[in-house]
Structure 1
Amino acid sequence: MTKLVLLGGGHAHLFVLEAFARQRPDADIRLITPEALTPYSGMLPGVLAGHYRARQACIDLRPLADRAACLLTLDSAVGLDAARRRITLTGGEVIDYDLLSMDTGSTPRRPDVPGAAEHAHAVKPIAGLLARCADAVPRAIAVLGAGAAGVEVAMALHHRWPAARCTLVERGTAPLEGLGARLQRSVGAELAHQQIDVVTGAEITRIDADAIGLDDGRTIASDFTVLATGAAAPAWLRDSGLALDARGFIEVGATLQSTSHPEVLAAGDVATLSASPRPKSGVYAVRAGPPLATNIARMLAGQPPLDWHAQRHALMLLACGRRHAIAARGGWVLKGDWVWRWKDAIDRGFVRRFDPRADIAADMG
């Protein structure tokens, strides 16, 4: 019987488990992931803002794995030998596979400056950030990185602690650089409305317990500093033997198979489509889920996998801390409280789809 390992409990693997729950393949299936509760990225800004409990933004993988006849192992990989088809886990177990699918996500990228490890809080894992939020009453907040995640986190924390001064720090020229002038203007207006300071063209030189230093000599007050500085690939991939892109992510082709090892598939943040790279965003991991499930099933049945062409423009829904949101796709932008209600319905529906017993009906204020 074919040994299939699903490494990581990310968004794309939810669709694989769902498909196997409907029609179980003739395979020995094992899911390896650190936690039984996998966070849904779309709701995490709402958790930080206080609109949802942490559990409401998580999907319980245990019943989903049971329905798919999948053995669930709560552990993480620390090594992969693609030539020998072996995975090494943190607990020391070594697992062989015939077919491997990877959806482990990315790791936070920490700036290489003094104080980053001691005084800055990474967005991921979200449980760690929430634990730090629980006991904090900051006077000043700084969020480093003004991509979509940084913008949402800054507004969420501002809503959580309205009395604290909030600063969004970006090394580029503007928040959401490269994502379209209309969206940038809309987000800029919202940040100004909330009186969130925006500092651009800034390189961080140090992070202290109560401030961050910039390369132009300025100091920004912050006793709660959050890193939203982008995604990094898991370090253990470097020695895996898999073909990787320049940043260390797994290169995959249109079938989501590794360009060097066809028995390995990958989706989500850990993967890069070699012919048409897409942003490291949860929406693309969700879109990759159904074609990943289809191709795994086809390969288990001895059939050739099918090409998947990722959409060029995805719908972006940005939570604005308060119950207000901004929607953008291509050249159009919409915003309002009704957009937040639309986003809220989409997010709750996604969690219910994979975790019907999740208690997400009650609003949290």
Structure 2
Amino acid sequence: MPGGDAPRILLLGAGHANLLAVPLLRAGLPRARITLVDAGSHAIYSGMFPGHVAGHYAPADLSVDLAAVAVRHGIAFLQARVAGLDPAAREVRLSEDRRLAYDLAVLDLGSQAAMPEIAGFERHAVPVKPLDGALARLARLPPGAPAAIIGGGVAGVELALALAHRRAGAVTLIEAGPTLVASLGPRAQALLRRALDRAGVRVRVRVQVAEVTDRQVILQDGARIDSAFTMGVAGARAQGWWARDLPVDGAGFVRVTPSLQVEGYPMLFAAGDCAAMMHAPRPKAGVFAVRQAPVLARNVIALHRGRAPERHDPQRHALKIVSLGGRTALAEWRGMTLHGPWLWRWKDRIDRRFIAGLRGG
């Protein structure tokens, strides 16, 4: 029984799974010394970020005050960046050269979207994740300035349409592959392409970005795209230290067992985007993190009490709802495609209810 009656539990990262697990852990382990660690003072809800970009939400609408969450549930909050982990010694290294010991810990650090292979990206572009950095850069976007989005997946299309709705000036969507939103079916792809055309978003596919400057995106073929605001949205990427300290998959994400325990380290769990469910690979999407939360909490409690953890088998299909800039949206579910303003209103109600739940409202 690690930690006796008051185990030291570290929740490393304020992702969906960890935040939703907090009240469950507090109820199940009322004497546990639980500490939430995150680099930011607020958690930003990614589901509402395109709506903020489009002008539908204020920054406060999509943020959760982590100190307030900690007070509400009787846990500690430490604002610090996790820089490493020694799972054998059960010790976490923070960026300030501070170390924390734990009996049980959960990694829910999300993913990042930096593109260091592109010259000038670090200095002149902004990765969509972490979201707090993207929010700060977006706030400084001059009215009417041209913008470019690198990455033509669902998130890239959403953000391009949101920027166009905001009337930020010319918006260009850049995709290295042969088509946009390859994860969606043909009908949904066609509807999104029509939405982009109506919004005036310029689309470039089958092109590679060579460099980003403060005024342009330069393609490998020499073409130059004017952009005062360039955002990288080309998929989820792992943080570098995971591969150094933990077992990872081919993309650098932390390998977990069916019980969400890190392979080889039963007192360490991982969830959300940072985790690679080797028994059931899934896309990096918030819906899977939300479903992990109750299993995660039950398994942390079970390990403390000396019981076997349960298996988590995620759902095979997830509803995909894509905002189309204005107060309208498109959804795809098992090959069926729907669209219209009512979908945006439905998504808005779901998102507001979700973030109210995170705040304890």
Q: TM-score range by the shorter chain?
A: over 0.9
Is the aligned partner of 1:90 residue 2:95? yes
Q: Are residues 110 and 329 of structure 1, via their aligned partners in 2, closer, same or farther at CA, if it must alter by over 3 Å?
A: same
Task: Extract structure 1 runs of 4+ deviating beyond 3 A.
Answer: 21-26
Which residue matches 1:144?
150
Identity across aligned pairs (percent)? 37
Cα shift readout 1:78-136 (whole Å, capped 9, x = no counterpart)? 11111211111112211111211110111223151222122212212323223222232
Which residue matches 1:57?
62
Which residue matches 1:14?
19
Task: Check whether the contact 1:27–1:300 (CA below 8 A) recurs between aligned residues.
Answer: no
After TM superposition, give the deviation of residue 142 of structure 1 in Å. 0.8
Q: Are residues 177 and 61 of structure 1, via their aligned partners in 2, closer, same or farther at CA, if it must alter by over 3 Å?
A: same
CA distance in 1, matches of 2:170, 2:269: 45
1:335 aligned counterpart, secondary structure: strand
Cα shift readout 1:9-62 (whole Å, capped 9, x = no counterpart)? 110012211213444344222111122321111111111111111111012233
AA aligned to 2:84 is G
Which residue matches 2:187?
182
Cα shift readout 1:241-294 (whole Å, capped 9, x = no counterpart)? x21011111001211111221111110011010122111112221121121122
Is the aligned partner of 1:220 residue 2:199? no
1:296 aligned counterpart, secondary structure: helix
CA distance in 2, matches of 1:208, 1:60: 34
1:110 equivalent among 103, 111, 115: 115
After TM superposition, give the deviation of residue 150 of structure 1 in Å. 0.9
1:326 aligned counterpart, secondary structure: strand
Is the aligned partner of 1:308 residue 2:297? no
Matches within 5 A, 1:166-177: 166-177=171-182
TM-score between the two structures when normalised by the length of structure 2 = 0.93
AA aligned to 1:152 is E
After TM superposition, give the deviation of residue 346 of structure 1 in Å. 0.1
CA distance in 1, matches of 2:213, 2:69: 43
2:53 equivalent among 45, 48, 57: 48
Matches within 5 A, 1:211-250: 211-240=216-245, 242-250=246-254
Structure 2 gaps, min length 5: none
AA aligned to 2:301 is A
1:323 aligned counterpart, secondary structure: coil
Is the aligned partner of 1:158 residue 2:170? no
Task: Check whether the contact 1:106–1:234 (CA below 8 A) recurs between aligned residues.
Answer: yes
CA distance in 2, matches of 1:139, 1:64: 37
CA distance in 1, matches of 2:68, 2:223: 52
2:198 equivalent among 187, 193, 197: 193
Cα shift readout 1:122-172 (whole Å, capped 9, x = no counterpart)? 21232322322223224321100011211111111111125x111110001
Q: Are residues 76 and 152 of structure 1, via their aligned partners in 2, closer, same or farther at CA, if it must alter by over 3 Å?
A: same
Matches within 5 A, 1:281-296: 281-296=285-300
1:262 aligned counterpart, secondary structure: strand
CA distance in 2, matches of 1:111, 1:63: 35
TM-score between the two structures when normalised by the length of structure 1 = 0.92
2:134 equivalent among 111, 129, 134: 129
Task: Check whether the contact 1:25–1:297 (CA below 8 A) recurs between aligned residues.
Answer: no
Which residue matches 1:255?
259
AA aligned to 2:175 is E
Structure 1 gaps, min length 5: 358-365
CA distance in 2, matches of 1:145, 1:111: 15
AA aligned to 1:286 is V
Task: Check whether the contact 1:5–1:32 (CA below 8 A) recurs between aligned residues.
Answer: yes
